[in-house]
Structure 1
Amino acid sequence: MSVDVVIWDPTRSDAEAQFSAVLALHKANRATLGPMPDTAFRDRAKHSGLLLGRRDGATVAYLLYDIPRHNLIKLIHLCVDPDARGSGVAKSLVGQAISLHPSRSMLTATCRTDYGIDGFWQSLGMHAASERKGRALSGSILTNWVKRINLESGLDLLETASLESGLPLAALDTNIVGDLFSPETVRRDHREESSELKADWLQPLVTFAVSGEVNNEINKIADPAYKKHLRESTTHLTRLSTRRPTDRTLEDELLDAVDAALLAKDPSLKADVLQVADAIHAGADYFVTNDSNIHLAAAGWKLDERGINVVRPHELIRALTPASFMSDFRSRLIDDSDLEWKVVTDADPALESLFRVYSDEPKPAVFNQRLRDVLAKPKSITVQQLHDGNGRPWALAAFEVNSGVLRLPLLRVFRGERGGTVAFQLIRYFRKVAWGFGATRIEITDPAISQTLDGALRADGFSDGGLRGADLGPATMSCDDLGVNTTAEVVSAERSRWPLVVTGASLPTYLIPIQPKWASRLFGLDDGLFPARRRGLGLSRELVYFSGSRLVPRELPARVLWYASSDKTMQLSQIVARSVMVDTTRVPVDEAIERFAKLGVFRKSDIKGSADKEGSVSVIRFQDTERLQRTVSRHDEIFKQRVKGQVQSMRSVAPQFFDEVLALQTDKVQAA
């Protein structure tokens, strides 16, 4: 006989009779449910927190739950009469509660570990997230069970961020988790091999995650201290959602494909299949395990059709390119690297693993076809790869210029931290390429834009949507003609329409002296002291300069005119470049090194040499530097009119001086 699920309605004529039946069920099972006053029952019930399982007019089960926060459904009591157990009514009650609250994303429950019903909670697709002490005098332990729900409404933020990172997703089996996070006192036969997954170089190249079933495996550990250690050591790993118990189609397919003799030999494969299924549903690229029986079973799973590989740790490491990277934009990576573009004429198979966007190109064939498409048009499309002096790849791009528009049907950066560094720089580089061809617009038509590139495009003022575009120039335009009034509007216009420079903006302007050797390193001036590096991406877009000056500009952003002074090796005494100052601060030199050294070409000794007697240094962070085509000497008339005396430290100058220097550049271009 089927069991119907109904919401308890206090306005019904039989409401009190139903409520009394619920209280009777509770009383009969109080030993496991625990005490609860009738008023607490009634308060939750009045807020639609009581569901009944009814059979032949009798209440045979009930679910009492809370919705304490915006994202939770908290199960308080889930009680089924012994005669109705096995009918599926418990799953129906929980399913009804979930459907009543489609905006909730997490289902939770708490149960004593000594009740021995872990299998029931697991049958609901829940996993053991943590433990805490109970209130029983006997010293009970409570297990906290959780499950992400309403997946069709979107995953939680952490899982979404992991799955949309653009990196390969590797789901770790329980045995790998044990190898990586067990205390050293616990013997693990594969610890040495698995430990290589913690290598620093690997972290930016892959996203690690685990099925919630890993929590259930950890929950079976008898040693409380060991169990607690593993739980606490793995909290940072993303837990993948599951479709169980609603949909077990994939699990059943995988299990049916396992050789019967192998399954009889190793019944634990039934649990392993749950983890593999969760990984496949999440779109994982790899399932990493040292379990030989899983590798044997995988032979019958047609994994190539499911887009996942079952691998051992060393096989995952071999599949990913070993290299050392920084974590975010680090100008030294660009300034210290000998970058050069080379033309690509053949569809090198190695390019796929380097530049495929996994979120948009689930199969290697998708990337390879796109590459072949652009290579098939050599007369109109140029395909190039950016590499450094060691031959390491940085970027891959294809572009064409037509009717005043530079289009990029393929634009990729290397995954990991090198890609994060190069993306911001790459956008400006292609703006310059477009401007050099006389184009007035740039469009990115590549349908597979990684999150790294997407962030760079947004920051650079490109439009959102399927076609990512930006207009260029003109070279200069006045505030009045452009229709901008505020500093923010000026900066936004110059960023989104580079190489536009807004004149008449009256932005605060500073003249900053810089020694020739630093001008060479920061701006690429050829001073004969340093070997010229190939700058395949031009000047770094964001840098810092360290100064002993006590002047700390507060009205930002501001214009910067860089005055290359003179020293024993060179006599320059001229303005050689311009920038936009975005931040300044004065801090102890050790703090400056810790916070800002990654954004410049300065070494620790150089930064310390810039400090004053008190050990403090001014840090000037600046962006969008451009060398002047027409430098301005201290002997030029406009310099002598605007700058009095020797330029020995940073000083404020009239904003009109910047416009006058800029006008000289325009005059030179027109003359040329």
Structure 2
Amino acid sequence: MIFQVKWRVDEVSMRDSTHVRPCSQGDFDAVVVLGDRFKKYLGLYPHKAIREAITNGFVFGAFLGDKLTGYALFALPYSDIRLVHLCVDPAFYAQGIARALIDAIQATYSDRQGIRLKCRRDFPAHKVWPKLGFQAESLPSGRGADRAEMTAWRKPFGPADLFASMLEDETRVQAVLDTNVVLDVLLERNDKTAKFLHSPSIYDEVALCITRSVKNELSELSPMAARRRVLSRLAQFDELPSEGGTCRALKNELLKSVPVKELRNDSSLEADAGVLAETIVSGAAVLITNDDTAGRVLRKIANSYGVEILHPSQLVVMIDELKGQRKDASGRLQNTGVTVTSSSAGIDREMDHLISTYRGESKAKFRDHLRGSMAANMRIIHAAESNLVDGLVATASVGNELQVSLLRVRRAPIAPTLLKQLLFQLRLEALENGAARILITDPAPGGGENIVPILRQEGARLKNGRWRIEVVDAQLRLNEFLSGRVGSWDLRDWLQNEPQSPMQFATLERELWPLKIKEAPLSNYVIPIRQTFASELLGYDSPLLTRDRDLGISRRHIYYKSAPYKPAAPGRILWYVSGKRGGSIVAASQLISSHNGVPQDLHARFRKYGVWSQQDIADCADKKGRAVAIRFGDTEIFRSEVSLTWADRVAQEYGNILGTVPTARVITDAAFQVIYDKGMNS
């Protein structure tokens, strides 16, 4: 595997490039010579151990032709990557060599959780790690006689178990604290700040969070005693993940909206804009600061991205309004007006912003690949908020595979959500073409977005250097599913551990959608839905692309019913629409979560999903004024409607009664499978 990184020096033409590859034994002497020049910082490392690391593929080198310009030596303990050496020839400083080496390690071992290292605070490299995307974790002491203070750094590759977090109840508003607010709390500089943030009335409603730049700024705090005290107490806050490149680009975009006079008068606004960018990208709903200037200058900008900037004292007052405004995947696409069009000839020079620069892809290589994909079914995605192309997809059916030669999005806050939606649309395309799987042949998928954690979240697995998604259009018995090989599908990579809990089965049905596992321990329901909402939320009885675009592109929606009965999640839903002749069951969805509350609270929390007004929710509430919000996703419209009369007979055979379905009715897994089969295969 070779990673190309464009660079410039005076004596080299623009056609030359630095490439990164695993070192061979033929590179041993060059690695040793370069490393020995920096023994003061790298310490002594046995040459025998270097040879062994090269043999194991744990030394990556950056080369200009045959010349070694830098190297990285690492190990693979447990689930992380431990960086032992990162060394760059001074003649090649500021050419992106260090970043290229780190990116190559991450791309090769993307299944690991991150890269970690320790570095003395008085070494020149101490200031480099944040620029490479690392965040300070702790402040250990060195092993030498001087017990020098060190910083333990870590570069996470993405949040663990993203799908699990997607299915969790979203019960708390994420509030990012800026550096001064954190210091007020941890160093007890301002008792009022701590009291506001720890008020019992919001204790279960708010998750207090910090970002990478805040944590890194705190690691530079003086004196040392305060620095150690602060970092040792940071565990009480949640750390929000955010892609560094996206945050840097967004920060620059935000700063363009700040008047030059304001930046000149208050230089700290640049750091404040950086924290705001991280807040937006991470999906948090609010940034807490006691800096009046930051609030005044940045509030309007933040609001345009759906983020509030509040003083600590305002959080208690605003909590009801903030409920439900945490920006999850479906909310990110609100008001974007996403459009999809076919590509045209001569577009290659309009797409350079979709280059996968983080993987070292060159402009020439990208254009060659783009031109080579012109024969495929290529589509361009635009968002109303941008004049640039926001995404690009090219597909072709080859045998029983849907091969994706291009899957790119531009670097933007909307990029992760857009990628998720594109991956779901690829599943639908695979189903239409009768493909058993999706194979991503794009050599550098993602474009401006690190696609690896998103692919894993969406159920993809890496095999032979390519990402694949099995599209299992079948109902499988449990023992058949657990065998791992069924028909054209190879499920073994998804069955490393046998599923036990309902959540594990729900995860598998989502990752291998539209798979349905018979005898899975999931709750099953028939739920009535009004005709109007069936059209808007399910796409039933109306063309999908003529619906509200925010609803059409989202994978998750919300529906309401009267309390008190609340369906248990995770589970499955069969949707019943009433009619003149008794009505029919028209679709199936995955039940993600359910929530009991008063209409005002439910509307505030879930209004990002659209369709329902507060009055609509009040109209379906019970006599006590309470309703149940049902969050669902991954809906399949039945090919043939199933009459209620027929479905009721099936339910009764397995011990349940549907009747006229006045409210949610529980049915057995066996009844669900029979009704689903009739709807999809009749």
Q: Deviations over 1:184-213 (max 9, x none)?
A: xxxx5799x999979999985899xxxxxx
Contact 2:648/2:659 (<8 A) preserved: no
1:413 aligns with 2:409: yes
Q: Call closer, same or farther: CA 1:206–1:460 in 2, change over 3 Å.
A: closer
Structure 2 portions without partners, runs of 5+: 1-39, 41-116, 123-141, 155-216, 229-237, 284-288, 308-325, 483-497
| Matched residue, 1:477 | 476
Evaluate the alpha carbon distance shift between residue 534 and residue 387 of structure 1 in structure 2; reply closer, same or farther with a 3 A threshold.
farther
Residue 593, structure 1, aligned to residue 603, structure 2: yes
The corresponding residue for 1:510 is 525
Q: Alpha carbons of 1:72 and 1:158: their partners in 2 closer, same or farther (altered >3 Å)?
A: farther
Q: Pick from 575, 584, 606: which aligns with 1:562?
A: 575
Residue 401 of structure 1 aligns with an amino acid whose one-letter code is S
CA contact (8 A) 1:128 1:144 kept: no
**Which amino acid is 1:545 matched to?**
Y
Equivalent residue for 2:667? 653
Q: Which amino acid aligns with 2:677?
A: A
Distance verdict in 2 for CA 1:426–1:174, change over 3 Å: closer
Q: CA deviation at 1:516?
A: 0.2
Which of the numbers 604, 621, 644 marks the counterpart of 2:631?
621
Aligned pair 1:425/2:421, yes or no? Answer: yes
2:358 aligned partner, one-letter code: S
Matches of residues 10-159 of structure 1 in structure 2 within 5 Å? Answer: 104=152
541, 560, 577: which one aligns with 1:546: 560
Give the secondary-structure state (helix, strand or coil) at the position aligned to 2:578. strand
- For 1:429 and 1:515, how far apart are their aligned partners in 2? 26
Query: What amino acid is aligned across from residue 491 of structure 1 in structure 2?
Result: A
Q: Which amino acid in structure 1 is aligned with residue 461 of structure 2? A: S
The one-letter code matched in structure 1 to 2:578 is S
Matches of 1:174 and 1:429 in 2, distance apart?
35
Q: Tell me if the contact between 1:382 and 1:400 (Cα under 8 Å) persists in the aligned partners.
A: yes
What displacement does 1:562 show? Answer: 0.6
DSSP 3-state at the match of 1:458: helix
2:511 to 482, 491, 496: 496
CA distance in 1, matches of 2:273, 2:674: 57
2:658 and 2:478 map into 1 onto residues whose CA distance is 28
CA distance in 2, matches of 1:171, 1:539: 29
- Cα offset, 1:647, TM superposition: 1.5
Q: In the TM superposition, what is the alpha-carbon distance from 1:512 to its structure 2 partner? A: 0.7
2:377 is aligned to 382
Deviation per residue, 1:591-635 (Å, 9 max, x gap): 212222223432333333333343322111112111111111123
Q: Is the 8 A contact 1:332 1:599 kept in 2?
A: no
Higher Cα radius of gyration: 1
Give the conservation status (yes or no) of the 8 Å contact 1:516–1:527. no
Distance in 2, Cα, partners of 1:629 & 1:391: 37
Q: Is the 8 A contact 1:374 1:398 kept in 2?
A: no
The AA in structure 2 aligned to 1:360 is R
Does the CA contact (< 8 Å) of 1:328 and 1:420 recur in 2? no
**Residue number in structure 1 paired with 2:459:** 461
Confirm or deny: 8 A CA contact 1:204 1:415 kept in the other structure.
no
Query: 1:102 offset after TM fit, Å?
Result: 6.3
Give the whole-Å Cα distance in 2 for the aligned partners of 1:576 and 1:456: 31
Mark the runs of 5 or more structure 1 residues left unpaired by the alignment. 6-69, 76-93, 107-125, 133-141, 147-156, 183-187, 208-227, 237-312
Q: What is the CA–CA distance in structure 2 between the aligned matches of 1:508 and 1:474, rounded to whole Å?
A: 21
Distance 1:578 1:452 in 2: 32
Q: What one-letter code is carried by the residue in structure 2 that aligns with 1:542?
A: R
2:248 and 2:274 in contact (8 A); partners too: no
Matches within 5 A, 1:215-614: 327-330=327-330, 333=333, 337=337, 339-353=339-353, 355-360=354-359, 366-367=362-363, 369-379=365-375, 381-387=376-382, 393-446=389-442, 447-449=444-446, 451=449, 453-464=451-462, 466-483=465-482, 486=500, 487-505=502-520, 507-526=522-541, 532-533=546-547, 540-554=554-568, 556-566=569-579, 573-614=583-624
Distance in 2, Cα, partners of 1:502 & 1:173:
47
Give the structure 2 partner of residue 33 of structure 1: none
Output the CA distance in 2 between the equivalents of 1:584 and 1:507. 14
Q: How does 1:163-202 map to 2 (within 5 A)?
A: 163-165=244-246, 168=249
The residue that corresponds to 1:121 in the other structure is: none
Query: Which letter maps to 2:577?
Result: A
Q: CA deviation at 1:581?
A: 0.9
Give the alignment's TM-score, normalised by structure 2.
0.51
Asked if structure 2 preserves the Cα contact closer than 8 Å seen for 1:426 and 1:537, the reply is: no
1:176 and 1:98 map into 2 onto residues whose CA distance is 48
Residues 639 and 534 (structure 1 numbering): CA distance in 2 closer, same or farther, change over 3 Å? farther
- 1:481 positional shift: 0.9
CA–CA distance in 2 between the matches of 1:542 and 1:175?
34
Give, as a single letter, the amino acid of the residue that structure 2 aligns with 1:413: V
How far is 1:172 from its partner?
A: 11
Q: Please state how far the C-alpha of 1:472 moved relative to its aligned partner.
A: 2.3
Q: 1:180 to 1:601 in 2, by over 3 A?
A: farther
Tell me what 1:254 maps to: none
2 CA distance for matches of 1:491 and 1:73? 46
Give the residue type in structure 2 aligned to 1:533.
Answer: R
Tell me how far 1:404 sits from its aligned partner.
2.2
1:470-514 deviation per Cα after TM superposition (whole angstroms, max 9, x unaligned):
222242211121126633443233222222222233532111111
Deviations 1:250-298 (A, max 9, x none): xxxxxxxxxxxxxxxxxxxxxxxxxxxxxxxxxxxxxxxxxxxxxxxxx
C-alpha contact 1:408 1:445 (8 A) present in aligned 2: yes
Give CA deviations for 1:554-579 in whole Å, capped at 9, x if unaligned.
3x31111111124xxx8771111111
CA offsets per residue over residues 213-254 of structure 1, 9 Å max, x none? xxxxxxxxxxxxxxx987x978x9xxxxxxxxxxxxxxxxxx
Shift of 1:551: 0.6
What SS does the corresponding residue of 1:586 show, helix, strand or coil?
strand
Query: C-alpha distance in 2, partners of 1:180/1:571?
Result: 70
CA contact (8 A) 1:327 1:420 kept: no
Count of equivalent residues: 427
Structure 2: distance between partners of 1:131 and 1:372: 52
Distance 1:131 1:173 in 2: 29
Larger deviation: 653-662 or 417-426?
417-426
The 3-state SS of whatever aligns with 2:351 is: helix
- C-alpha distance in structure 2 between counterparts of 1:372 and 1:409, whole Å: 12
Q: Is the 8 A contact 2:530 2:578 kept in 1?
A: yes
Query: In structure 2, how many angstroms separate the alpha carbons of the residues matched to 1:199 and 1:95?
Result: 34
SS in structure 2 of the partner of residue 636 of structure 1: helix
Q: What percentage of residue pairs aligned between the two structures are identical?
A: 22
Q: How far 1:335 sits from its partner (Å)?
A: 9.8
**Counterpart secondary structure, 1:510:** strand
CA contact (8 A) 2:596 2:627 kept: yes
Q: Distance in 2 between matches of 1:613 and 1:621?
A: 23
Secondary structure of the structure 1 residue equivalent to 2:624:
coil
Q: Could you say if the C-alpha distance between residues 579 and 334 of structure 1 is closer, same or farther in structure 2, counting changes exceeding 3 Å?
A: farther
Tell me the SS of whatever aligns to 1:359. helix
CA change 1:455–1:335 in 2 (3 A) is: farther
Q: What amino acid sits opposite 1:436 in the alignment?
A: E
Amino acid at match of 2:642: V
- Residue by residue, what CA displacement relative to the aligned partner does 1:420-477 show, whole Å, maximum 9, x if unpaired? 3322222121022123222222122332435564333112211147422122224221
Counterpart CA distance in 1 for 2:550 and 2:606 is 24
